[in-house]
Structure formats: C-alpha cells, structure tokens
Amino acid sequence: MSKPLTEQELHNLAMNHVGKDLEQRGFEFIAINSKLKKHPQFVCIDKTKQYYFVIVRAVILPDNPNNYDVIWMESFKKHARENDAKVLYAGVGLGNKDEGEKEVYLNEEYLLEYEGIQVLDTNLN
C-alpha cells in the first residue's frame, strides 16, 4: 500500500520544483531552509548581487497556490526591507492524479500547478 506524503514531504517536493526554477533563472543560493513555517525557504542573489528572500508555499489542490496571508506577508516584507532584500513568492499546488483522491502518495504520479515565481513589492501598502 502506498504511503501518503506528510506535510513536510509535500513542502520539500514544492521546494525542489521552485529550487530548479530559481537555478534555471540564474540565481545563486546563499541559504536554504526546508523546515515548515520557517521563512524564507531560499536566500538567493542574482548577478547584480541583489538579495532575494523566497517564500515557498505548498497547497493541496484544488486550493489556489497563489493565495497567501497578506497581513503576515506585510511583516515579512518589512523584514526584507530591513535586510535590503526583495521578496519572491512561489505557490505550488500538488494533488493526486486520481480526481477523487486528495492525498499525494510516495513514488506515485501527481498533479502540479505552478505558475512561476511572483515578485512582491516590498514598499508599504
């Protein structure tokens, strides 16, 4: 019998997808934090040495991976401004390929909804 992925394993799977995307975009990794609810998940720099704090959020489909807690994000943006960093958000939706099943299982195919990385303005709203 297949084993459903834990919340941490789903988060790690999402981070793998986002990490590959960041790498293809030419970012250099300074730090990686894969613990749940510890932010940011990635600290990166680009070719101009600009720092980026990357938030990765995994959700189970059909929830929308591009939605995030706006109030919490404002406090995180403040942290980024204090560190002269920009904020990137990557929402990743994961789901079972069999429509009636909500869990994603280890070593089985899964659905992926990932629209790429969003640049969030760190100015005060």
Tell me which residue range forms the domain holding 77: 7-120
Q: Where are the alpha helices (DSSP H) in 25-100?
A: 70-82
- 51 within a domain of the structure (yes/no): yes
Q: Residue 125 falls within a domain, yes or no? A: no
- Please give the Cα distance from 61 to 10 (Å, whole number): 12
Strand partners, 90: 56
Q: What pLDDT shows up at residue 2?
A: 83
What pLDDT does residue 37 have? 87
Residue bearing tokens 């019998």: 1
Sign of the four-CA dihedral 118, 119, 120, 121: negative
Q: How many domains does the chain have?
A: 1
**Does residue 53 sit within a domain?**
yes
DSSP 8-state code for residue 57: E
Report how far residue 77's alpha carbon sits from residue 75's, in angstroms, rounded to the nearest whole number: 5
CATH number at residue 73: 3.40.1350.10
The answer to whether residue 80 sits within a structural domain is yes
Global pTM? Answer: 0.91
Question: What are 20-76's pLDDT values in tens digits?
Answer: 999 999 999 999 999 998 999 999 999 999 999 999 999 999 999 999 999 999 999
- Give domain status of residue 1, yes or no: no
- Is residue 2 assigned to a domain? no
The reply to whether 50 falls in a domain is yes
